[in-house]
Amino acid sequence: MKNKTTSDDQQIEDAVDNATDAILMQAEPLTGGSSTEDPIGVAGLMHVPVQVTVQLGSAKMNLSDLMQLGPGSILTLDREAHEPCDILVNGRVIARGEVVTVGELYGVRISEICSAS
């Protein structure tokens, strides 16, 4: 089983590398407001912070039902336990994965990189 995980990890790493290369090849250098400024390029954007969110599922409910929630309440989501969760960057789904534990914290093992649309 470890070889499969290693193989999966390598496939994910290769997919991320390929996506990064494709972006770098298509990106045009960015310039500031003045034509005398040097272009920033994609390398200049690599330290821009982005919000990464993992979404397990969602639920719709009436406001009256929402107001009755409290400690110990259970909120049923629209996904089954075995389904992958969505990984969003700045609100846009970029990948899917499975929830794992990393020591005492939760993590996500990426299982699929979503195509840009």
Give the pLDDT of residue 31: 53
- As its CATH architecture, domain 49-117 has Roll (2.30)
As a whole number, mean pLDDT of residues 52-66 equals 95
Amino acid identity at 18: N
Buried b (16+ CB within 10 A) or exposed e, 42-58: beeeeeeeeeeeeeeee
Write down the pLDDT at residue 110.
96
Query: What is the four-CA torsion angle of 30, 31, 37, 42, rounded to 10 degrees?
Result: -10
Query: In this model, does residue 71 exceed pLDDT 70?
Result: yes
Chain segment 1-58, per-residue pLDDT in tens = 445 556 666 777 777 776 666 666 655 555 555 555 667 788 888 888 999 999 999 9
Domain ranges of the chain: 1-48, 49-117
